[in-house]
Amino acid sequence: MDLLKKKIEEEGIVLSDHVLKVDSFINHQMDPHLMKEIGLEFARLFKEAGITRILTIESSGIAPAIMAGLALDVPVIFARKRKSLTLTSDLYTATVYSFTKRESNEITVSKKYIHPEDHVLVIDDFLANGQAALGLANIVEQAGATVSGIGILIEKSFQQGAEELIAKGYRLESLARIASLKGGKVTFAEQRIH
Ligand code: G4P
Ligand code: NA
Ligand code: NA
């Protein structure tokens, strides 16, 4: 998606060979016009997929997910993150380990909001090692529902997540794919190398 790539080129800050800071339009300040276009792009990509619900994770997935939900005219659920849980009987839970932060979070979704007949689009801002996306997909599957696709804003193709999601058979659509952040420079990947 050219608009997102342009924004990354103009405002993204390469913090290291592994981390791209996008605080001016995704992770802190947000750009509503960009989010609207992202929602429309996901709707275009998934319009034939029979999506009935969108599932994302707090906090940075919520803005793009709500715009995609608006464009596809479906409800949007965000998984919550918690350190520990007491009552779990009415919740689907998955454990998500972050290699970046070296910590595990339990993510939870109420059983009320995903049903076996649902075709769910999973959305998140970044795809790094894929642990968040896999946790969300796991929750959809616990509900007996179908993961109809995974929509990502920024895929870091040099990390393992994309490969793993594709190997597991999920349809992955990333709006910007980064091949490398080496040398303080963003290099986009044009085609999937598989
Ligand atoms: P994974 O789910 O793909 O395995 O990713 P990882 O554990 O590495 O990601 C942990 C957090 O860091 C996530 O946000 C993720 O969106 C974010 N992240 C990963 N790589 C980058 C990057 O290069 N740049 C930025 N800006 N963020 C990155 P989170 O902790 O869930 O926070 P939030 O959704 O509340 O923002
Ligand atoms: Na995120
Ligand atoms: Na984040």
Query: What are 158-192's pLDDT values in tens digits?
Result: 999 999 999 999 999 999 999 999 999 999 998 77
- The model's pTM: 0.96
d(CA 68, CA 38): 7
Residue among 119, 103, 112, 115 nearest 51 (CA): 119
pLDDT for 26-77, tens place per residue?
Answer: 999 999 999 999 999 999 999 999 999 999 999 999 999 999 999 999 999 9
Instruction: Report CA(87)–ligand 1 centroid distance (Å).
Output: 27
d(CA 169, CA 87): 33
The pLDDT value given to residue 106:
93
- Cβ(94) – ligand 1 distance below 6 Å: no
The DSSP call for residue 13 is E
- Cβ(22) – ligand 1 distance below 6 Å: yes
- Cβ(111) – ligand 1 distance below 6 Å: no
Is pLDDT at 22 greater than 80 in this prediction? yes
- Give residue 83's pLDDT band: very low, low, confident or very high (50, 70, 90): low
d(CA 123, CA 99): 20
Take atom 15 of ligand 1 and give the residue whose Cα is closest.
126
- Give residue 85's pLDDT band: very low, low, confident or very high (50, 70, 90): low
Mark the binding-site residues for xanthine, compressed into ranges.
20, 27, 156
